[in-house]
C-alpha cells in the first residue's frame, strides 16, 4: 500500500462528516479515447474489488476538457495537456496517468502487418496530399522488397477534438517544416484539401474506417490497432532506424521524459532521441478541479487513481500501454497533497 493510499483509507470514514456527503458509489469521467482500453480494464477490476463503479465516456480530449471545465464530470481526461496558464485560469490540476503509442495503420491489398516502412516526412506529405498513390517512388524506394499496388490513398483522420490528433500533428510538425508552417499542431485542425480525406469520431471510428476502406491510412492508439486487427506500419525513429511498434520501443521513448521539470506535467514525448525510440509516444492526462465541493468523493476519486498506479501496471502492459515510473507517481502524489482542497483544507493530509 502506497503512502497516499494509506492516508486515504485511514481518513475515508471521516470524509462524509468532512464534506457532508455520503460515500460515492460511482465516479464519472469523460475525455480521451486514446486511453479508453486501459481505463476500461482498470474500472472493471476496481469495481470487482471495491464495488465502486467508474463510468468513463470516451468522447475525445476536447469533450473531456469541456465537461470538466463545466464541472459536469468528476474528472476529465486529455491527451493534449493544458499549459500552466490555462490550468491556473480554470483552477485545475493535471497529472499523467499512463503512456501509450500512436501508430500509422493502413489497408493496402497484399501488404502484411508491419511490412511497410514509412518515414515521418512521407506521412506528413501523404496527409498534405502531396503523395496520392501508394506506389509513389518515395514509398517504393524504401520498400524495395514489397510489391505495392498503385492504389489511391485515402487519408482517415479524427473529426472530433482529439488529443491523439494533437500528438500526431505535433509529431508531423517536428518532422516536416512544411507541415509546421502550413498546418500546425492542434486537437482539431483544418485538414489539407489536397488529400482525399475521411473524418471519423474517436480512435475506434478511425480504426473502423481504415478496416473498411482499401487504400486508406489512419493514426490510432496501438491498442485499437491490435483490437481491430489493423495493419500497422514500421516508422523511422528520430535517428532513422525503422522500428516496429513494440513495448520495447515504446519504453525506450518514455525513458527520456523529463517530468520533474515540466510545469503542470505538460510534456510531449514525440520524436525522442535514441535509435530504438518509437517516434509517436504520448502520455494521457487527468484533469481535476483544485477546489473540490465534496471531499469524500474527491478522496474516492484519488483512491481509484492511486489504486490504478499501484495495481494497474501489468494490466496496462498487457494492453501495450506504458505504466508511469515510480518517480513520476511520487511527483503526482505530492501534487494531490499540495493542491487538492475542500473549503481551504487539504483533502489529503
Grid cell of 99 as nine digits: 503512456
Superfamily of domain 3-100+261-268+282-346: Periplasmic binding protein-like II (3.40.190.10)
pLDDT tops 90 at residue 22: no
Q: What is the pLDDT of residues 152-180, one digit of tens each?
A: 999 999 999 899 999 999 999 999 999 99
Q: What is the pLDDT of residues 26-65, one digit of tens each?
A: 999 999 999 999 999 999 999 999 999 999 999 999 999 9
Grid cell of 341 as nine digits: 482542497
pLDDT tops 90 at residue 229: no
Q: What is the pLDDT of residues 237-264, one digit of tens each?
A: 999 999 999 999 999 999 888 899 999 9
d(Cα 113, Cα 183) in Å, to the nearest integer?
A: 29
∠ CA(184), CA(190), CA(194), 5° rounding? Answer: 100
Grid cell of 144 as nine digits: 524495395
d(Cα 320, Cα 95) in Å, to the nearest integer?
A: 20
What is the DSSP-derived secondary structure letter of residue 300?
H
List the chain domain ranges: 3-100+261-268+282-346, 102-256
Which residues are CB-neighbours of 175 under 8 A, at least 6 positions away? 119, 120, 121, 123, 124, 271, 279
- Give the DSSP H/E element, type plus range, for residue 98: strand 92-106
Place of cell 490513398: 153
d(Cα 146, Cα 140) in Å, to the nearest integer?
A: 8
Confidence at residue 295, expressed as pLDDT on a 0 to 100 scale? 94
Grid cell of 211 as nine digits: 478496416
Q: What is the pLDDT of residues 106-122, one digit of tens each?
A: 999 999 999 999 999 99
**DSSP alpha helix (H) spans, the chain:** 3-19, 36-50, 61-69, 84-90, 120-127, 137-140, 163-175, 177-182, 202-212, 222-227, 247-254, 295-311, 313-318, 326-339
The length of the chain, given as a count of residues:
349
d(Cα 142, Cα 325) in Å, to the nearest integer?
A: 36
Across-strand partners of 288?
93
Confidence at residue 21, expressed as pLDDT on a 0 to 100 scale? 40
Task: Answer yes or no: same fold for 3-100+261-268+282-346 and 102-256.
Answer: yes
Indicate the average pLDDT of the chain. 92
pLDDT band, very low/low/confident/very high, at 190 (cuts 50, 70, 90): very high
d(Cα 140, Cα 160) in Å, to the nearest integer?
A: 33
d(Cα 345, Cα 172) in Å, to the nearest integer?
A: 44
Mean pLDDT of 132-150: 97
pLDDT tops 90 at residue 16: no
d(Cα 12, Cα 296) in Å, to the nearest integer?
A: 7
Grid cell of 271 as nine digits: 520524436
Q: Which of 225-229, 314-318, 320-324 has the lowest mean pLDDT?
A: 225-229
pLDDT tops 80 at residue 197: yes
pLDDT tops 80 at residue 236: yes
pLDDT tops 70 at residue 2: no
Residue 167 CA from chain centroid, whole number: 8
∠ CA(32), CA(6), CA(99), 5° rounding? Answer: 25
Strands across the sheet containing 242-243: 117-118, 234-236, 242-243
pLDDT tops 90 at residue 20: no
> Rounded to the nearest 5°, which phi and psi values hold at 52?
-85, 130
Q: The domain 102-256: what is its CATH number?
A: 3.40.190.10
Amino acid at each position: 500500500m502506497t503512502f497516499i493510499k494509506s492516508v486515504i483509507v485511514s481518513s475515508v470514514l471521516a470524509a462524509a462528516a468532512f464534506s457532508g456527503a455520503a460515500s460515492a458509489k460511482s465516479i464519472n469521467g469523460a475525455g480521451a479515447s486514446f486511453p479508453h482500453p486501459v481505463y476500461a480494464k482498470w474500472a472493471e477490476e476496481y469495481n470487482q474489488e471495491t464495488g465502486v463503479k467508474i463510468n468513463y465516456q470516451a468522447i475525445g480530449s476536447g469533450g473531456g476538457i469541456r465537461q470538466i471545465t463545466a464541472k459536469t464530470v468528476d474528472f476529465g481526461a486529455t491527451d493534449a495537456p493544458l499549459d500552466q496558464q490555462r490550468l491556473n485560469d480554470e483552477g485545475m490540476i493535471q497529472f499523467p496517468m499512463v503512456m501509450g503509442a500512436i501508430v500509422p495503420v493502413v489497408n493496402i491489398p497484399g501488404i502484411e502487418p508491419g511490412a511497410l516502412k514509412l518515414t515521418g516526412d512521407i506521412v506528413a506529405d501523404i496527409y498534405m496530399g502531396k503523395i496520392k498513390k501508394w506506389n509513389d517512388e518515395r514509398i517504393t524506394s524504401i520498400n524495395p522488397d514489397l510489391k505495392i499496388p498503385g492504389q489511391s490513398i485515402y487519408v482517415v483522420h479524427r473529426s472530433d477534438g482529439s488529443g491523439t490528433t494533437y500528438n500526431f500533428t505535433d509529431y508531423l510538425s517536428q518532422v516536416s517544416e512544411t507541415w509546421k508552417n502550413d498546418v500546425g499542431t492542434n486537437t482539431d485542425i483544418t485538414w489539407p484539401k489536397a488529400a482525399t480525406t475521411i473524418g471519423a469520431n474517436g480512435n475506434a471510428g478511425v480504426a473502423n474506417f481504415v478496416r473498411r476502406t482499401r487504400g486508406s491510412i489512419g493514426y490510432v492508439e496501438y491498442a485499437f490497432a491490435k483490437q481491430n486487427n489493423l495493419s500497422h506500419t514500421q516508422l523511422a525513429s528520430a535517428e532513422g532506424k525503422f522500428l516496429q511498434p513494440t513495448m520495447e520501443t515504446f519504453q525506450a521513448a518514455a525513458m527520456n521524459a523529463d517530468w520533474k521539470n515540466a510545469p503542470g506535467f505538460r510534456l510531449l514525448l514525440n520524436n525522442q532521441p535514441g535509435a530504438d525510440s518509437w517516434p509517436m509516444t504520448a502520455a494521457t492526462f487527468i484533469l481535476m478541479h483544485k477546489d473540490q465541493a465534496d471531499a469524500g468523493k474527491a478522496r474516492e476519486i484519488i483512491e481509484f487513481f492511486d489504486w490504478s498506479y499501484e495495481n494497474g501496471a501489468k494490466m496496462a502492459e498487457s494492453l501495450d500501454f506504458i505504466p508511469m515510473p515510480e518517480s513520476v507517481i511520487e511527483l503526482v502524489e505530492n501534487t494531490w497533497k499540495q493542491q487538492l482542497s475542500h473549503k481551504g483544507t487539504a483533502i489529503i493530509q
